[in-house]
Amino acid sequence: MGYLGHQKERRLLLMKRKLLSSSLLIFSLLISNSIGIAATENSTSTKFSTDIDSEILSTTTEESAKKEAVTPISDITNISDSLENNIPDTQIIGDDKIEKFYEYAISTGKIKRELYSLEDFIYNYKISLNEYPETKEIFKLEESFDEWFEQIRFGALPDGQGEAYSENSITDISTRGFSDAQKRSANRFKKDLRKGDIIVVNSKGPGHAAIATTDNYILEMTGGRNPVKWFAGGIEKNNHQFKANNWLFGYSEQGWTPDQNINYKIQIWRIPNKNMANQVASYADKHYFSYSGSYSRNINLKYLISPGPLVTNPNYCSKLVFNSYWYGSGNSPVVKDYYAHVQYIYPSALPDIFQNGYTPRKIGDY
């Protein structure tokens, strides 16, 4: 059934979990508000210890940074003008105008027509637009909705693939069973997973990311079910390592329960240098979980969404993956210096952070 057939039911579901979805969007907004502030690709940067004074880091970043130009969209009607009048009702946005924006999105190369249908694009656009005024007001943001939606890749995965935000992401799925198709996808995922792989999850909002520390274990900053703490106060001892099966299906391990990640679209990305992938994965394990590489955790990281990609504690999901490759690669030219100066690391941007010769390829969709 198309978007219109589901609209009433989906909007009722959204109301039930507004706090969670709004907080997820807040993360995206924070990222989009600052991701363009960076040094140019040609600037040089030295990998340095995380004990550097944050004030010095901030000063260095400001002096070397410049605003990255936003791709002009002046030739496209701003289809979210109603936000200026505080009218968040998605019904006032015509599908024909969103279709024009869809064509523009394709022209940027960030989404692919054959992988992201117009129907799903319209649905994701309207959900996101409906919740934008509140977060825009909270953070006094100046970006238009369209500019923000472009900066989060129009809700797509790194390869341009997109689908309507799953209702699983806005409903209680803790007691649901898993379909045969999900079980097959999980089995493929476990078979394909290799040490050092980058995992990107297209859950509602900003998404999620993790790194494989072995062929069977996944390290992540899990987050939690109180999104207010993601931005204020943080969540202590939030770095967790799970067996792949537990991570996929949400089974508890070492006293913590991950999300049921199999309910979302998942992608595995892998750099071409196996030795470097192994090196980085071992570094992540011994610097962000256990000094000895043991099963039990003896390194504690706080979860907090805050600026500064080179600071390892506090941390959040996609920044942990970035830190693993930035520091774990040593002096090898693996990660672009550019990303050392951005404020936030977005999950779907992870495949873009690598230098030529280390660009990861997609292993599969699950």
φ, ψ for residue 330 (rounded to 5)?
Answer: 65, -135
Q: Of 344, 225, 237, 356, nearest to 289 (Cα)?
A: 237
Please report the pLDDT score of residue 177 as a whole number: 85
Residue 227: what pLDDT? 77
Position 55 scores a pLDDT of 38
The backbone torsions φ and ψ at residue 221, rounded to the nearest 5 degrees and listed phi first, read -95, 110
Global pTM value: 0.69
Residue 137 pLDDT: 65
Tens of pLDDT along 194-205?
999 999 999 866
Q: For 272-282, write each residue's pLDDT tens digit.
A: 999 999 999 99
Alpha carbons 130 and 139: distance in angstroms, whole number: 16
Stretch 103-107: mean pLDDT, rounded? 97
Per-residue pLDDT averaged across 14-21, rounded?
45
